[in-house]
């Protein structure tokens, strides 16, 4: 196996970064493989965890293969900077520790590989531990870095800087194919690591959110504030809610079902959750903090056609309930969504669409732009919840859930298009004369969080709100006539809606 300073790949020169803005995007893994002496771990745990264990760990000795498809964010970089008018200047890989009892400190060797196709998931894979056998590596690799793994707590994030690999940066930059394979091999014989794999898990019982393996890709270029930018987030959590409660793993993670009442015990509705923090940060980086507004929102679901699938209507809702457990029976959610006309979660109807059976891998795109509440939530908060329910009693729709499988069968995606929406005098579209302004502060991990709320606003109208830090946030009022702006860290000062003559003190003491 090759070590520091050597490569079995042809050297690839990377153009000097363009001067201008930097934009960072998160890319979640679509495939992780734990490769043992008998081959990949094909059990459910092979999706949930990715392990690297040295030779002294016997049958559990393993190396890891982690793959990332960055073509979605490359399209965003093209939209932000102009087609090809940018280059990748940094890559950081983030892995979340699982707190396994067998974990042992030790060194890890991290490699980049151009082989994005060799099977690392199934029993048909040619890959077996050890990675290097008889002087021959299982995959073509280039050494990137050696890092020391130290046992932490469950949920701790290990961040590894991969920016030293010019080949990796070039692969993700214009001219590359946008798909990157990372291989992690033991650096000493005793090390034993366990990180979350391709299937995320939010453990609400213990307060730990196990995010899937991801890379943060930073691109450098020039951004025009007038540009409309599309960004996306993959679902961190999907729940199929049946009569007995949420469907359990592994199928409850791999698939996402909506089935009407005529499907008996399989009747179900679905809950989708998206962490939009990185999406919002990307827009803040492009336009300035809060200096943007959402113009379009769409949901992309990948079909997983089953023998029981049936065409029919499906109803899509927005929900502000981002905390209710949709993965275990602890949340109290059960089918049907509406029991005696009272919903399990607070919901707001967006649209009804006809679901037609296609082929596995087909993408259903649903336009959610009609919900001002959803757009407002994306602009003000870092969590989005959607609920999907039967539109008729016979429909039986199956999509890919939170655990992706390969490049095509990916987790649900929320695609958000935004444009510059701040600056100037922080003007509002209009004022009806009845608006009221309310402020509230709370201690958060980020510091003092100020929550600024405009009440009795005109639904759909855009209001300009200035924060104590001096930022202007322009947002559309939701269907209840409410605009919510959050700032953290904030400070003592004043929140205003200048066009409407509204002002309120913010006290962070």
> Looking at residue 255, what DSSP letter applies?
E
How far is 323 from 325, CA to CA, in rounded Å?
6
pLDDT reading at 15 higher than 60:
no
How far is 88 from 170, CA to CA, in rounded Å?
7
Amino acid 21: pLDDT: 62
pLDDT reading at 2 higher than 60:
no
Amino acid 62: pLDDT: 97
- Higher pLDDT: 271 or 225? It is 271
Judge whether 495 and 450 are in contact, CB under 8 Å.
yes
Helix/strand/coil for 274: strand
Model confidence at 226, pLDDT cuts 50, 70, 90, reads very low
Residue boundaries of the structural domains of the chain: 21-221, 229-420, 436-506
DSSP string, 283-331: HHHHH-TT-EEEEEEEEEEEB---TT-B-EEEEEEEES--SS-SSSGGG
For the chain, first and last CA: distance in Å? 58
Mean of pLDDT values over 419-431: 68
Dihedral sign computed on CA atoms, order 69, 71, 73, 74: positive
Whole-number percent of the chain with pLDDT over 90: 61
Q: Which CATH class is domain 229-420?
A: mainly beta
Mean of pLDDT values over 349-358: 94
pLDDT reading at 423 higher than 70:
no
Fold equal for 21-221 and 229-420? yes
As a residue count, the chain comes to 509
Q: What is the pLDDT of residues 39-76, one digit of tens each?
A: 999 999 999 999 999 999 999 999 999 999 999 999 98
- Higher pLDDT: 116 or 405? It is 116
Closest alpha carbon to 374 in 489, 502, 470, 476: 476
Q: What is the pLDDT of residues 297-338, one digit of tens each?
A: 999 999 999 999 999 999 999 999 998 999 999 989 999 999
Q: What is the pLDDT of residues 459-482, one digit of tens each?
A: 888 888 888 877 777 788 888 888
Amino acid 225: pLDDT: 45
How far is 152 from 173, CA to CA, in rounded Å?
34
User: β-strand 21-36 against 39-40: which pairing, if any?
Assistant: antiparallel
223 contact partners, CB below 8 Å, separation of at least 6 = 20, 21, 23, 80, 81, 286, 287
Average pLDDT, the chain: 88
Query: What's the predicted TM-score (pTM) here?
Result: 0.59
Amino acid 487: pLDDT: 81
Reading the block at residue 366, the tokens are 């649903």
How far is 19 from 475, CA to CA, in rounded Å?
31
422 contact partners, CB below 8 Å, separation of at least 6 = 287, 288, 290, 291, 292, 464, 471, 472, 473, 474
Peptide bond connecting 250 to the previous residue in cis, omega within 30 degrees of 0: yes
pLDDT reading at 227 higher than 90:
no
* Conformation bin of residue 462: beta by default, left when phi > 0, alpha when psi is -120 to 50: beta
Please compute, for residue 423, the number of CA atoms within 13 A of its CA located in the half-sphere on the CB side: 8
Quote the radius of gyration of the chain (alpha carbons, Å). Answer: 24
Please compute, for residue 353, the number of CA atoms within 13 A of its CA located in the half-sphere on the CB side: 18
Helix/strand/coil for 484: strand
Where would I find the beta strands (DSSP E) of 7-54?
A: 21-36, 39-40, 49-53
Where would I find the beta strands (DSSP E) of 165-280?
A: 179-186, 192-196, 201-203, 208-210, 214-221, 229-242, 245-246, 255-259, 269-275
Out of 272-276, 304-308, 422-426, pick the least confident: 422-426
Model confidence at 3, pLDDT cuts 50, 70, 90, reads very low
Model confidence at 173, pLDDT cuts 50, 70, 90, reads very high
> Looking at residue 225, what DSSP letter applies?
T
Residue reference for tokens 């930018």: 229
Amino acid 425: pLDDT: 58
Could you say which of 2.20.25, 1.10.3470, 2.60.120, 2.60.40 is the CATH number of the domain covering 21-221?
2.60.120
How far is 153 from 99, CA to CA, in rounded Å?
6
How far is 353 from 404, CA to CA, in rounded Å?
24
H or E element that contains 383: strand 383-390
- Higher pLDDT: 88 or 23? It is 88
Q: What is the pLDDT of residues 118-154, one digit of tens each?
A: 999 999 999 999 999 999 999 999 999 999 999 999 9
SS (H, E, C) 151-192: CCCCCCEEEEECCCCHHHHHHHCCCCCCEEEEEEEECCCCCE
344 contact partners, CB below 8 Å, separation of at least 6 = 241, 324, 332, 333, 334, 337
Helix/strand/coil for 338: strand
Reading the block at residue 483, the tokens are 């605009």
pLDDT reading at 445 higher than 70:
no
The strand pairing partners of 137, in sequence order, are 132
Judge whether 66 and 46 are in contact, CB under 8 Å.
no
Peptide bond connecting 336 to the previous residue in cis, omega within 30 degrees of 0: yes
Q: What is the pLDDT of residues 178-189, one digit of tens each?
A: 999 999 999 999
């Amino acid at each position: 196996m090759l070590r520091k300073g050597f490569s079995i790949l042809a050297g690839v020169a990377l153009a000097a970064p363009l001067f201008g803005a930097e934009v960072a995007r998160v890319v979640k893994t679509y495939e992780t493989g734990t490769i043992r002496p008998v081959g990949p771990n094909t059990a459910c745990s092979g999706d949930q965890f990715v392990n690297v264990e040295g030779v002294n760990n016997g049958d559990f000795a393993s190396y890891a293969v982690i793959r990332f498809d960055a073509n979605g964010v490359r399209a965003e970089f093209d939209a932000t900077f102009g087609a090809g008018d940018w280059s990748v200047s940094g890559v950081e890989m983030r892995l979340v520790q699982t707190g396994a009892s067998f974990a042992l400190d030790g060194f890890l060797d991290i490699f980049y590989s151009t082989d994005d196709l060799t099977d690392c998931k199934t029993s048909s894979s040619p890959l077996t531990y050890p990675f290097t056998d008889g002087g021959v590596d299982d995959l073509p690799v280039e050494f990137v870095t050696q890092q020391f793994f130290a046992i932490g707590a469950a949920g701790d994030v290990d961040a590894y800087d991969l920016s030293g690999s010019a080949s990796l940066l070039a692969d993700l930059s214009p001219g590359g194919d946008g798909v990157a394979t990372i291989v992690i091999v033991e650096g000493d014989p005793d090390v034993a690591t366990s990180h979350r794999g391709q299937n995320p898990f939010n453990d609400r019982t213990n307060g730990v959110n196990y995010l899937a393996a991801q890379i943060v890709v930073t691109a450098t270029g020039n951004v025009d504030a007038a540009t409309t930018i599309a960004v996306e987030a993959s679902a961190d959590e999907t729940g199929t809610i049946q009569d007995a409660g949420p469907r359990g793993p592994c199928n409850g993670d791999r698939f996402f079902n909506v089935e009407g009442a005529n499907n008996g015990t399989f009747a179900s509705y679905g809950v989708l959750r998206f962490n939009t923090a990185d999406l919002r940060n990307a827009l803040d980086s492009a336009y300035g903090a809060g200096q943007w507004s959402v113009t379009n929102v769409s949901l992309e679901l990948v079909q997983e056609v089953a023998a029981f699938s049936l065409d029919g209507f499906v109803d899509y809702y927005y929900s502000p309930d981002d905390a209710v457990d949709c993965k275990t029976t602890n949340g109290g959610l059960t089918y049907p969504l509406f029991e005696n006309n009272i919903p399990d979660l607070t919901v707001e109807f967006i649209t009804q669409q006809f679901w037609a059976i296609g082929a596995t891998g087909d993408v259903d795109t649903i336009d959610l732009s009609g919900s001002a509440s959803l757009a407002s939530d994306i602009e003000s908060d870092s969590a989005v919840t959607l609920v999907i329910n039967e539109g008729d009693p016979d429909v039986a729709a199956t999509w890919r859930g939170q655990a992706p499988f390969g490049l095509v069968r990916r987790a649900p995606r929320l695609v958000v298009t935004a444009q510059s929406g701040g600056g100037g005098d922080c003007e509002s579209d209009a004022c009806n004369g009845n608006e009221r302004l309310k402020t509230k502060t709370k201690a958060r991990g980020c510091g003092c969080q100020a929550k600024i709320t405009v009440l009795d606003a005109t639904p759909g109208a855009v209001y300009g709100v200035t924060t104590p830090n001096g930022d202007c946030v322009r947002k559309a009022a939701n269907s209840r006539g409410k605009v919510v702006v959050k700032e953290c860290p904030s400070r003592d000062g004043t929140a205003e809606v200048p066009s409407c003559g509204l002002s309120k003190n913010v006290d962070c003491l």
